[in-house]
Amino acid sequence: MNETEYVTYLQLIQTSINDELSAVVLYKRIAESLTGPGAPVIAKELREHADDEYRHFKLLLEFCSHYGILQEMSVELESEANLDVSSSTETLIAKVQSLELEAISTYKKLLNMSKQYSVVEGCKLFLQILTEEQEHYDDLAFFDGKTRSLPLIKDTTEKQQSVASLIAQI
Ligand SMILES: [Fe+2]
Ligand SMILES: [Fe+2]
């Protein structure tokens, strides 16, 4: 990894640290604000996602500590954490989906760089988080305007297809 690539790698990790923490706050705020018949189901899902994001945040800090780069990192809440959560459920879900897509894109870059430069712990960590972010996105796809009031049904084949098409788009 040359110096420019190293800086890029650190910046991507820094972005992820702040994005994960901001997602924890935002998802919990959205979960509290939702109204309507589908609200309890969606809120439960978002709280579970928030717990996952907090675990990702801690895993990233552990990764930085392992490689001696923790002192290079700062921890800041981003403006997204303060998003107006009085918007419609559809708008909020769309926003969360866009954040998940951003996370997927960032972790794909980190995974590719880790593979390229044989950062073994990075390969393991970023693949694990990437997989979970894809699951988050896929879970949210079931909460669009048409399916939100229905029981949450996850057909395995349909889920696999939507994840595969998502990965193909990135
Ligand atoms: Fe995450
Ligand atoms: Fe996520």
Question: What does the pLDDT look like over 78-121, one tens digit per residue?
Answer: 988 889 999 888 889 889 999 999 999 999 999 999 999 989 99
In angstroms, the CA 81 to CA 118 distance is 34
pLDDT band per the 50, 70, 90 thresholds, residue 149? very low
Structurally, at CATH architecture level, domain 3-169 sits in Up-down Bundle (1.20)
Question: 82 CA distance to ligand 1 centroid (A)?
Answer: 18
In angstroms, what is the span from residue 69 Cα to ligand 2's centroid? 24
- Distance CA(12)–CA(92), nearest Å, equals 25
Tokens 């705020």, located at residue: 29
Could you tell me the distance, in angstroms and rounded to a whole number, from the CA of residue 2 to the centre of ligand 2? Answer: 30
**Residue 53 CA: which ligand is closest?**
1
Residue 53 has pLDDT above 90, yes or no: yes
* Cα–Cα nearest to 106, from 26, 5, 7, 9: 9
- Confidence at residue 123, expressed as pLDDT on a 0 to 100 scale: 92
CA–centroid distance, 136 to ligand 2, in Å, is 5
Q: How sure is the predictor about 168, in pLDDT bands with cuts at 50, 70 and 90? A: low
The structure's pTM equals 0.83
Handedness of CA 33, 54, 21, 109 (dihedral sign): negative
**What is the structure's pLDDT at 16?**
98
Please state the rounded mean pLDDT for residues 42-71: 96
| Ligand 2 ion: Cβ-proximal residues, 5 Å cutoff | 100, 133, 136
The conformation of residue 154, written as its DSSP 8-state character, comes to -
Between 27-36, 42-51, 94-103, 145-154, the lowest mean confidence (pLDDT) is in: 145-154
